[in-house]
């Protein structure tokens, strides 16, 4: 099993190019299932474990897949689907696989999808996806841990989400593209990745309007042309590198970024004393001295992203003052707290609120990544901690960041990957 060995205390300086957004690439690759004829081409695909898992799900369904890592381009031909089942062993590895349900119902009128089960950040139900597909005329039976769904055909409907589910919105949007009639999603997720998916689909002939707002309208069409799309830059990775610059008292410029997607993140960094400079496609973060304390509440977009909560907590743990961080999107998303405390942070939690009393320095220790984002937050804390740290279960981090250690090294970090089994 791979670990990261990090010697902290080096200032990070320089430029790093952000990769394509995992959370946008996944639904867009999955959307290729809707294309009955021809080859879809998706560019700027990051080289990540979750992408390989997604491609395996698509291959399992009969999609011909060709991923050219050198050019970050995937070609997909879904003209001969041979199944409609997403098996447990794949969905359990990556719950985003559940999103094949929409395209399969839209195109074939049937789908058999494993329920994702729990994960490290809480129970994460799929009831909103389910209720929406039922409202669209789908009959769903539970069989041995699977949802067996049939729609003859999928019908447009008015969908009310109790809360704006990100992948729920994408799943329903993909189903609705080829459903009969018009679908309206109310209280839809406004995330930029939803907009990216809508743009990819619209350029292939879909009729989606309102993506990026809380009301999305989809008029069903009979068929789509092949997708031809370049995936948006990863705003979460951009945020990660910015915190890396700030937490080490350095200066990091992220290139190829889309600063507009990061409004509240940049505002919060500035509130914590980080100097943030923005151009059309770069963001630079620098910090001299300790960060200031901040108040952060995670919230659906355009609120502060839950996926950057652990990274911000790492920064807050070194602040001059006491920060308060509330996690309102997921239950149990504080697993990194105990690990940050191992590094010398002073953090206590009550319910969904963490109080972070800033300390002057952290010191190296062995810590454990529990999911992608918690793991990234720990790497950032270790970059700032004095002495040597080991981050275990790096496979979580590899799900969301392409060779993170190599790119941090180029910025001046002392971080190496080691295989503990060798």
* Catalytic machinery residues: 119
Let me know: does 133 contact 153? Beta carbons within 8 Å.
no
Per-residue contact string for residues 168-187; x = within reach of ligand UD1 by CB under 6 A = x-------------------
Q: Give me the least distance between CB of 127 and ligand UD1, in Å please.
A: 5
Q: Of the two residues 3 and 126, which places its CB atom closer to ligand UD1 in the complex? A: 126
User: How far apart, in Å, are the Cα atoms of 41 and each of 48, 139, 421?
Assistant: 18, 33, 38
DSSP structural state of residue 121: T
Contact with ligand UD1 (CB under 6 A) among 12, 128, 198, 369? 128
Let me know: does 251 contact 277? Beta carbons within 8 Å.
no
Q: Of the two residues 128 and 384, which places its CB atom closer to ligand UD1 in the complex? A: 128
| Contact flag: residue 129 with ligand UD1 (CB under 6 A) | yes
Taking CB under 6 A as the binding criterion, the range among 164-172, 221-229, 271-279, 316-324 that sits at the site for ligand UD1 is 164-172
Per-residue contact string for residues 284-313; x = within reach of ligand UD1 by CB under 6 A = ----------------------xx------
CB atoms within 10 A of CB 34: 25
Per-residue contact string for residues 248-287; x = within reach of ligand UD1 by CB under 6 A = ----------------------------------------
Q: Locate 82 and state its tokens.
A: 């041979």
User: How far apart, in Å, are the Cα atoms of 87 and each of 56, 62, 111?
Assistant: 11, 13, 11
User: In angstroms, rounded to a whole number, what is the distance separating the alpha carbons of residues 381 and 400?
Assistant: 18
Q: Give me the least distance between CB of 312 and ligand UD1, in Å please.
A: 14
Using alpha carbons only, how large is the chain's radius of gyration in Å?
21
Q: Of the two residues 171 and 248, which places its CB atom closer to ligand UD1 in the complex? A: 171
User: In angstroms, rounded to a whole number, what is the distance separating the alpha carbons of residues 243 and 251?
Assistant: 10
Q: Of 164, 161, 111, give the one whose Cα is nearest residue 138.
A: 111
User: In angstroms, rounded to a whole number, what is the distance separating the alpha carbons of residues 309 and 76?
Assistant: 35
Per-residue contact string for residues 342-361; x = within reach of ligand UD1 by CB under 6 A = --------------------
Contact with ligand UD1 (CB under 6 A) among 167, 284, 317, 376? 167
Question: Helices then strands (H, E): number in the chain?
Answer: 14, 24
Contact with ligand UD1 (CB under 6 A) among 4, 133, 304, 330? 330
- ∠ Cα 23 29 33 (to 5°): 135
| Number of residues engaging ligand UD1 in binding (CB under 6 A) | 18
Q: Give me the least distance between CB of 367 and ligand UD1, in Å please.
A: 21
Q: Give me the least distance between CB of 163 and ligand UD1, in Å please.
A: 5
User: In angstroms, rounded to a whole number, what is the distance separating the alpha carbons of residues 10 and 329?
Assistant: 33
Q: Give me the least distance between CB of 370 and ligand UD1, in Å please.
A: 14
In terms of phi and psi (left: phi > 0; alpha: psi -120 to 50; beta: otherwise), the region of 398 is alpha
Contacts of ligand UD1 in 7-66 (CB under 6 A): 23, 26
Q: Give me the least distance between CB of 130 and ligand UD1, in Å please.
A: 7
Taking CB under 6 A as the binding criterion, the range among 8-16, 163-171, 240-248, 273-281 that sits at the site for ligand UD1 is 163-171
Taking CB under 6 A as the binding criterion, the range among 124-132, 139-147, 224-232, 338-346 that sits at the site for ligand UD1 is 124-132
291-327 burial code (b ≥16 CB/10 A, e <16):
bbbbebbbbbbeebbbbbbbbbbbbbbbbeeebebbb
Residues that bind ligand UD1 (CB under 6 A): 23, 26, 96, 124-129, 163, 165-168, 306-307, 329-330
């Amino acid at each position: 099993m791979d670990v990261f060995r990090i010697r902290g205390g080096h200032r990070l300086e320089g430029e790093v190019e952000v990769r394509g957004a995992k959370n946008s690439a996944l639904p867009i690759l999955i959307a290729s299932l809707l294309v009955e004829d021809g080859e879809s081409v998706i560019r700027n695909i990051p080289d990540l474990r979750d992408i390989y898992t997604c491609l395996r799900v698509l291959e399992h369904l009969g999609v011909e897949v060709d991923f050219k890592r050198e050019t970050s381009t995937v070609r997909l031909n879904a003209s001969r689907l041979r199944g409609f089942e997403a098996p447990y062993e794949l969905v359990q590895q990556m719950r985003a696989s559940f999103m094949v349900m929409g395209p399969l119902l839209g195109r074939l009128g049937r789908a058999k999808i494993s329920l994702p089960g729990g994960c490290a950040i809480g129970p994460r139900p799929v009831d909103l996806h389910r209720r929406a597909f039922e409202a669209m005329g789908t009959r769903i039976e539970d069989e041995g841990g699977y949802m067996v769904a049939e729609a003859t055909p999928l019908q447009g409907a008015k969908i009310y989400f109790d809360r704006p589910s990100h992948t729920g919105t994408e799943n329903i949007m993909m189903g609705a593209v080829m459903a009969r009639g018009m679908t309206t999603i109310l209280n839809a997720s406004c995330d930029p990745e939803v907009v990216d998916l809508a743009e990819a689909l619209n350029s292939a002939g879909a009729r989606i309007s309102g993506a990026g707002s809380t009301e999305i309208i989809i008029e069903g069409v009979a068929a789509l042309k092949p997708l031809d799309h370049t995936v948006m830059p990863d705003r979460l990775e951009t945020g990660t590198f910015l915190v890396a610059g700030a937490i080490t008292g350095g200066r990091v410029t992220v290139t190829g970024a889309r600063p507009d997607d990061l409004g509240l993140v940049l505002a919060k960094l500035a509130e914590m004393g980080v100097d943030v400079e923005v151009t059309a496609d770069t963001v630079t973060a620098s910090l001299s001295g300790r960060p200031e304390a901040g108040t952060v509440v995670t919230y659906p977009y355009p609120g502060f992203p839950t996926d950057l909560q652990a990274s911000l907590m790492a920064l807050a743990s070194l602040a001059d003052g006491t920060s308060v961080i509330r996690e309102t999107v997921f239950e149990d998303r504080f697993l990194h707290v105990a690990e940050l405390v191992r590094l010398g942070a002073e953090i206590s939690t009550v319910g969904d609120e963490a109080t972070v009393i800033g300390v002057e320095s952290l010191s190296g220790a062995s810590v454990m990544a529990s999911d992608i984002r918690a793991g990234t937050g720990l790497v950032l804390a270790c970059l700032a901690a004095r002495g040597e740290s080991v981050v275990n279960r790096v496979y979580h981090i590899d799900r969301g960041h392409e060779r993170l250690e190599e790119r941090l090294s180029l910025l001046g970090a002392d971080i190496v990957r080691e295989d503990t089994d060798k």
